[in-house]
Amino acid sequence: MNNIEKLIRERRSVRTFDGRELTEEDKEKLCTFIETIDNPYNLPIEFKLLEKMGCPVVVGTELYVGAKMQDAPQFNEAFGYAFEKLVLYAQSLGMGTVWIGGTMDRGAFEKAMELGADEVMPCVSPLGYPAKKMSLRESMMRKGVKADERLAFDDIVYWNNFEQPLTPDAAGKLFLPLEMVRLAPSAVNKQPWRMVVMGDIVHFYLQRSKNFRAGKLDMQKIDMGIALCHFELMAKELGICTEFTVAEPNISCKNEAEYIASYTLKLD
């Protein structure tokens, strides 16, 4: 995948498709790419294309992609990371996608995925080519969650502790990887990711939104996986090597943000 910054800046959720089926070539490219998708937790994830499916917020395609995995610790974050790679690759082929974790007949999708008793299928996405004009329902949904807005950089990025916001200017070489996190999609556009930069390490925290219910399937932990994906891909494109770790740094936080993972930058 090339030009990650462009893909991330251009991506938006697509819920209105133009009715065309995917070309065989695009389908094949997508299936080949799926075989290469990894995640930093090294948890196996199985993707499947599902035909003749539907969901209430989507019009103009009946093709979906779902993914399932074993119910293991950190499966939500791993899923978010891996599925976002698929989303960005689909974007590079000119396809539209939208993360769907809530607005679907979950039973129907789990059946189509042949979900085992010890497996989970957190989200799916439709696949197709975006229509020129959004449905009225889609534009209303976007307004409802302020889908075109994001928090400011220094509302979500800090240095050394949660008391000191980091401005874009002060972020230096980390600006773009962190900016790509800021532009990420998140469930109900809640943007729960918070990052604390300490020297060459970036710690990722989850600031859970009020009234956001999370059971075993945790959409906000999936959001965190998406954040890790955007950060790592952008850093890589800039030639910055990163090492993934999960080791709580015990930074004190008034808002009780939950530690998720860290990237250490390998600078020569």
Ligand X SMILES: Cc1cc2nc3c(=O)[nH]c(=O)nc-3n(C[C@H](O)[C@H](O)[C@H](O)COP(=O)(O)O)c2cc1C
Interface segment toward ligand X; rule CB under 6 A; list 28-36, 100-108, 173-181, 254-262: 100-108
Interface segment toward ligand X; rule CB under 6 A; list 153-161, 164-172, 182-190, 258-266: 182-190
Interface segment toward ligand X; rule CB under 6 A; list 1-9, 109-117, 187-195, 230-238: 187-195
Residue 151 interacting with ligand X (CB under 6 A):
no
Measure the CA–CA gap between 169 and 198, rounded to whole angstroms. 16
Question: Could you give the C-alpha distances from 92 to 5, 102, 165, 176, in angstroms and in order?
Answer: 11, 25, 33, 19
Residue 217 interacting with ligand X (CB under 6 A):
no
Quickly tell me which residue has 């074993």 as its tokens. Answer: 70
The H-assigned helical ranges of the chain are 4-10, 24-34, 75-92, 106-112, 136-144, 153-156, 175-182, 219-237
Residue 3 interacting with ligand X (CB under 6 A):
no
H/E segment holding residue 247? none
Residue 98 interacting with ligand X (CB under 6 A):
yes
219-238 footprint of ligand X as x/- string (CB under 6 A): x--xx--x------------
Interface segment toward ligand X; rule CB under 6 A; list 113-121, 217-225, 244-252, 256-264: 217-225
Encoding tokens for residue 72? 């293991």
Taking the complex as a whole, the smallest distance from the CB of residue 104 to ligand X amounts, in Å, to: 7
Residue 105 interacting with ligand X (CB under 6 A):
no
Measure the CA–CA gap between 91 and 5, rounded to whole angstroms. 12
Site for ligand X, residues 64 to 83, rule: CB under 6 A: none
Taking the complex as a whole, the smallest distance from the CB of residue 163 to ligand X amounts, in Å, to: 29
115-144 footprint of ligand X as x/- string (CB under 6 A): --------x-----------------x---
Angle (deg, nearest 10), helices 219-237 and 175-182: 150
Taking the complex as a whole, the smallest distance from the CB of residue 268 to ligand X amounts, in Å, to: 35
Residue 23 interacting with ligand X (CB under 6 A):
no
By CB neighbour count within 10 A (0-12 exposed, 13-18 middle, 19+ buried), where does 267 fall? exposed
Measure the CA–CA gap between 79 and 68, rounded to whole angstroms. 8
CB atoms within 10 A of CB 213: 8
Residue 99 interacting with ligand X (CB under 6 A):
yes
Residue 185 interacting with ligand X (CB under 6 A):
yes
Q: Which residues bind ligand X (CB under 6 A)?
A: 12-13, 57, 98-103, 123, 141, 145, 147, 185-189, 219, 222-223, 226
